[in-house]
Amino acid sequence: MKTLTTTLAALATAALATLPAMAQEKWDLPMAYSASNFHSVTGAEFAQCVTTGTGGAIEITTHPSGSLFAGADIKRAVQTEQVPIGERLLSGHQNESAIFGWDSVPFLVSSFDQHEKLYEVAKPYLEELLAEQNLTLLYSVPWPPQGLYFNKEVNSVADMEGIKFRSYNNATARLAELTGMLPVQIEAAEISQAFATGVAESMVSSGATGYDRKVWESLSHFYEVDAWLPRNYMLINSDVWADVSEANKNIINACAGMAEYAGTWRAKEYTGFTLAGLAAGGMTVAPAGDTLMAELKAIGETMTAEWLEAAGETGKNIVDAYNAQ
Ligand code: PCA
Between CA 255 and CA 249 the distance in angstroms is 10
* Predicted TM-score (pTM) of this structure: 0.92
Q: Which of 74, 100, 143, 146 maximizes ligand 1 atoms within 8 Å of its Cβ, making it the mutation to test the pocket?
A: 143
Q: Which residue segment(s) compose the domain that 317 sits in? A: 147-227+282-323
The answer to whether residues 129 and 176 belong to one domain is no
pLDDT confidence of residue 255? 98
**Which residue's alpha carbon is nearest to atom 3 within ligand 1?**
205
The answer to whether residues 217 and 247 belong to one domain is no
The answer to whether residues 133 and 198 belong to one domain is no
The answer to whether residues 120 and 213 belong to one domain is no
Q: For ligand 1, what atom is nearest to the CA of residue 146?
A: 6
**Average pLDDT of adjacent 10-residue blocks, the chain of 325 residues:** 51 47 85 96 98 97 97 97 98 96 96 97 98 98 98 98 98 98 95 97 98 97 98 98 98 98 98 98 98 98 98 97 93
The answer to whether residues 216 and 241 belong to one domain is no
Q: Is residue 277 part of a domain?
A: no
The answer to whether residues 125 and 263 belong to one domain is yes
Q: Is residue 191 part of a domain?
A: yes
pLDDT confidence of residue 55? 96
- CATH code of 286's domain: 3.40.190.170
Between CA 151 and CA 73 the distance in angstroms is 30
The answer to whether residues 123 and 202 belong to one domain is no
Q: How remote is the CA of residue 214 from the centroid of ligand 1, in Å?
A: 14
Domain count for the chain, please give it: 2
The answer to whether residues 126 and 26 belong to one domain is yes
The answer to whether residues 42 and 153 belong to one domain is no
Distance of CA 307 to the CA centre of its chain: 20
pLDDT confidence of residue 15? 46
The answer to whether residues 94 and 122 belong to one domain is yes
Q: How remote is the CA of residue 13 from the centroid of ligand 1, in Å?
A: 51
pLDDT confidence of residue 17? 47
Q: How remote is the CA of residue 15 from the centroid of ligand 1, in Å?
A: 51
Count CB-CB contacts under 10 A for residue 192: 16
Between CA 233 and CA 127 the distance in angstroms is 11
Backbone torsions φ then ψ of 137, nearest 5 degrees:
-80, 130
Q: How remote is the CA of residue 203 from the centroid of ligand 1, in Å?
A: 9
The answer to whether residues 202 and 106 belong to one domain is no
pLDDT confidence of residue 5? 53
**Which residue's alpha carbon is nearest to atom 7 within ligand 1?**
188
The answer to whether residues 46 and 181 belong to one domain is no
